Amino acid sequence: ERAHHYASLQLAGDSTNNEYLARIGQLQNLLTKIGETAAFVVPEILAIDDKQFGQFIADPALADWRIKLHKIRRMKPHVLSEPEERILALGSVALSGYDDTFLQLTDVDMKFGLLIDETGREKPLTQSSFSSFLVKRDPELRKSVFHQFYAEFRDHQFTLAASLAYSVKVDVFHARARRYSSALEAALFPDDVPIAVYDGLIKSVRANLEPLFRYFDLRRRTLGLRELHLYDTYVPLVPEVETRFTFDQAVEAVLAALAPLGKDYVDVLAEGLRSRRWCDRYENKAKRSGAFSSASYGAPPYILMNYKDDVFADVYTLAHEAGHSMHSWFSQNSQLFQDYEYPIFLAEVASTFNEELLTHHLLETTADPKMRAYIINRQIDDLRGTLFRQTMFAEFEKIIHAIEESGDALTLDIFKSEYHKLLETYFAENFVLDLELDLECLRIPHFYHAFYVYKYATGISAAVALLERVLSGEPGSVDAYLNFLRSGGSKFPLETLKAAGVDMATPAPIESALRLFERRVTELESLLL
């Protein structure tokens, strides 16, 4: 693990470094051989009868492996006979790759053309530049970009629909082959998340759409538009404030924001960012774009950034990635190797918690109405994209898998029709749903990794609920949060969060996030109207 971690970080710093590219290839081959050599382990564990397994678990010599063994053992009802498993393994390559087809088509083959930007310069329109054009102040430019972009999707809509349909078929095939009641159950089972949690998320969000509609109306009025389109929902309502944070200033702001978590947390992070070189800070030639936190057991939780002093969002990115790194640090220092890695369900909780704490700190220390409006608008848009939008996506995934499971065919018309119904539900009456918007369901990469996106919505909800406990001064809430970080992968996600004071089996955490959204919309209305 550490060797792969080292090589991948070196390659992220310089993608042209063929030495580390070759080393990663060697490591992947080695891991494949290790996997083949150890392939007998899980089947043998599953073959042990219940009585003997109970005796093994009670043996003090296996105490360190009890959690891991229980996680393996609970998969027993869904593991097939050896010949059947061999057939599935042989077919794994043939039954995958639809996401690769999608990415090759949308990132390589599809050409979105050129357009004239607000400065009069000709610029290429691409998948990556699309969102950057939607934040421009010129409404005609946004409109032109939207229609030009989706024209290319319209030209490939039948191919994209066929690709997504077969991806859903494969999900259903695997679920049935492994004796799950549905593809949704198969996706939730590894994390021990009941389907009721998934359905409860959708139910709670659907019941609280009015504040979202108010926000859309606030957008329309603030931007001076007669009607609102999707391409009008990304431009900031408050033009970006003139704020510059050097990296060192960003570190100080983040550390100040995280002070409620206590001296131990802040001191470790401060040392990591200031003197232990946890963060590769700035853009460089051939360096990987974006940002991430990456950890391996026994090694520092490094952060890669492409920090820019004049990009306010980068301060939030630092807080976000620091959340991941501190989650890894606490977990590594509390758990054994086999239990330290936390699941995706929990990963975004710690990072989002830090972002929300940074927002709280900035609002507490900022009196300027323009700056406050800018920060609140940013938080609202984060909640809108993470809570409302991802829940709509989650509902769409459930619908299309249920259609496939019922025996009906998934066609382009079905995809567009079902997605349009959701658009009508999740957007206000004075929101114009352009015909091209029905094609949005064909351009979401996460749909090729079924039932993943709901974790974004539950993650931000859990983070908000945990933060409310900390900021209210609830006794024991800080220790409970730090113990959540320490837990790593030693328990299932819902159990870990419940121990921290947040019960995701109830609607309470989702409702906390929805109430925060409504409060922020009310505040922004008072600042802008």
pLDDT digits (tens, 9 = 90+) for 176-189: 999 999 999 999 99
**What pLDDT, on a 0 to 100 scale, did the predictor assign at position 31?**
86
Number of H helices, E strands in the chain: 25, 7
Q: Are 438 and 388 in contact (CB under 8 A)?
A: no
Tokens 């859309």 sit on residue: 216
Cα three-residue angle 126-160-175, rounded to 5 degrees:
125
Distance in angstroms (rounded) separating the CA atoms of residues 394 and 398: 6
Angle between helices 477-487 and 454-471 (to 10 degrees): 150
Query: Per mean pLDDT, which range of 70-74, 253-257, 499-503 is the poorest?
Result: 70-74
Active site residues: 321
**What pLDDT, on a 0 to 100 scale, did the predictor assign at position 501?**
97
Q: Are 345 and 459 in contact (CB under 8 A)?
A: yes
Q: How many CB atoms lie within 10 A of CB 417?
A: 11
Does residue 16 register a pLDDT over 90? no
User: What pTM value is reported for the model?
Assistant: 0.94
Distance in angstroms (rounded) separating the CA atoms of residues 155 and 436: 11
Strands 302-304 and 431-432, sheet pairing: unpaired
The secondary element (H helix, E strand) that includes residue 122 is: strand 122-124
- β-bridge partners, 124: 114
Q: Which two tokens stand for residue 477?
A: 């809430």
Four-residue CA torsion sign, 112, 105, 416, 129: negative
**Which residues make Cβ contacts (< 8 Å) with residue 255, sequence separation at least 6?**
266, 269, 270, 273
Q: How many CB atoms lie within 10 A of CB 127?
A: 15
Query: Per mean pLDDT, which range of 24-38, 132-146, 447-461 is the poorest?
Result: 24-38
- β-bridge partners, 294: 302
Does residue 241 register a pLDDT over 80? no
Does residue 221 register a pLDDT over 80? yes
**What pLDDT, on a 0 to 100 scale, did the predictor assign at position 99?**
85
Does residue 95 register a pLDDT over 90? no
Strands 279-280 and 302-304, sheet pairing: parallel
**What pLDDT, on a 0 to 100 scale, did the predictor assign at position 82?**
82
Does residue 4 register a pLDDT over 90? no
Does residue 93 register a pLDDT over 80? no
pLDDT digits (tens, 9 = 90+) for 456-476: 999 999 999 999 999 999 999
pLDDT digits (tens, 9 = 90+) for 109-167: 999 999 998 889 999 999 889 999 999 999 999 999 999 999 999 999 999 999 999 99
**Which residues make Cβ contacts (< 8 Å) with residue 465, sequence separation at least 6?**
501, 502, 508, 509, 512, 513
- CA torsion 54-60-63-64 (nearest 10°) is -140
Distance in angstroms (rounded) separating the CA atoms of residues 64 and 57: 10
Query: Domains of the chain (ranges plus CATH)?
Result: 2-91 (1.20.140.70)
Distance in angstroms (rounded) separating the CA atoms of residues 46 and 326: 35
**What pLDDT, on a 0 to 100 scale, did the predictor assign at position 243?**
82
Question: DSSP characters for 21-34?
Answer: HHHHHHHHHHHHHH
Ranges of beta strands (E only) in 405-485 are 431-432
Grade residue 336 by pLDDT with cuts at 50, 70 and 90.
very high
* Amino acid sitting at position 244: R
pLDDT digits (tens, 9 = 90+) for 405-437: 999 999 999 999 999 999 999 998 779 999 999
**What pLDDT, on a 0 to 100 scale, did the predictor assign at position 233?**
97
Distance in angstroms (rounded) separating the CA atoms of residues 96 and 211: 40
Cα three-residue angle 355-352-453, rounded to 5 degrees:
140
